Amino acid sequence: MGVLMATVRARPAAAGEESRRAPKTEVPVVEFRNVTKVYDGGSVAVDQVSMRIGRGEFVFLVGPTGCGKSTCIRLLQKELEPSKGEIAIAGRQLGEIPRSRVPYLRRNIGVVFQDYKLLPNRTVYDNVAYSLQVIGEGRQQIRRKVPDILRLVGLSTKLHNFPDELSGGEQQRVSIARAFVNHPPLLLADEPTGNLDPETSIGIMQLIYRINRTGTTVVVATHDKEMVDKMRRRVIELREGRIVRDEKSGLYRPDESTTEFAIRLRGELGVGVEGHPN
């Protein structure tokens, strides 16, 4: 925890406060304006969606499979282009970014996937190092940052294992480490706990929450409604491509510590208190 606090930009303390009054004054980190995405086959994945996500917010995108959550995530990475409407990240219109600049956009967005998407022929260390090598980080920096971040996610003993030698939860931790190692201002997670058991899921959620506490905006897409309801963060619910609910987080304490968060979550989900290795 201390390591993370030290390495992130110096605004974590204010993060909680800001998220409470975020979207009104400043430029939202994520903005959808009447976004529609129709796939080539004619199926409508996202239908006239508008939303604003402010800096430092923790937002759940929920809804049943096929409701357009993943499409939203992929639209944000400019992996897909919207058929109609506009998407802006930190005030920058995605439609105006030329293809050759897309990699630079993605370097500012950490992504976590349901199937981890680790590079199978690289060790844990190399997987995380890759996203630093991509941005041209020097060897010294890589040698310093990678062990740090892996210690943070609780994998300091598995540096030289290959992904297929790890459990699902461990692989997801590697993928979070990779997404966060260069401290992007925005973290996207597409069903990060989709393949994991409840106890491991809590560990992963705790980790993501911890990242959010450093001031990083987090968007998590999930169909695990129970978990979402218990976590008491802002929830945007999609159904058949439309927003049917946007609960602006009335209930939760935004400054809740990660440990309190985990204890409360375990209590509410009725899971044992073995705790994760961290």
Q: Which of 120, 250, 270, 272 binds other proteins (CB under 8 A)?
A: 120
Task: Give the integer Cα–Cα distance in Å for 91 and 232.
Answer: 27
Q: At 233, phi and psi to the nearest 5? A: -115, 180
Q: Does 103 bind other proteins (CB under 8 A)?
A: yes
Q: Does 141 bind other proteins (CB under 8 A)?
A: no
Stretch binding other proteins (CB under 8 A), from 8-16, 64-72, 106-114, 165-173: 106-114
* Cβ 196 to other proteins shortest distance, Å: 20
* Cβ 4 to other proteins shortest distance, Å: 20
Considering only CA atoms, which of 51, 113, 108, 118 is closest in space to residue 78? 108
| Residue whose CB is less far from other proteins, 79 or 197 | 79
Q: Does 134 bind other proteins (CB under 8 A)?
A: yes
* Cβ 199 to other proteins shortest distance, Å: 27
Q: Which of 43, 50, 83, 133 binds other proteins (CB under 8 A)?
A: 133
* Cβ 131 to other proteins shortest distance, Å: 5
Tokens of 76: 């944000």
Look at the chain and count its residues.
Answer: 278
* Contact assessment for residue 97 and residue 272, using Cβ atoms and an 8 Å cutoff: no
Distances (CA, A) of 247 to 51, 62, 181, 214, 257: 12, 11, 31, 23, 22
The C-alpha angle with vertex 234 and arms to 229 and 240, in degrees rounded to 5, equals 80
Each residue 83-102 as x (binds other proteins by CB under 8 A) or -, in order, gives -----------------x--
Q: Which of 71, 131, 216, 222 binds other proteins (CB under 8 A)?
A: 131
* Cβ 119 to other proteins shortest distance, Å: 6
| Residue whose CB is less far from other proteins, 164 or 274 | 164
Q: Where would I find the beta strands (DSSP E) of the chain?
A: 30-38, 44-53, 58-62, 84-89, 92-93, 109-112, 186-190, 217-222, 234-239, 242-247
Task: Give the integer Cα–Cα distance in Å for 181 and 170.
Answer: 16
| Residue whose CB is less far from other proteins, 24 or 99 | 99
Which amino acid is residue 182, in one-letter code? Answer: N
Residues that bind other proteins (CB under 8 A): 77, 79, 100, 103-107, 109, 111, 117-122, 130-131, 133-136, 138-139, 178
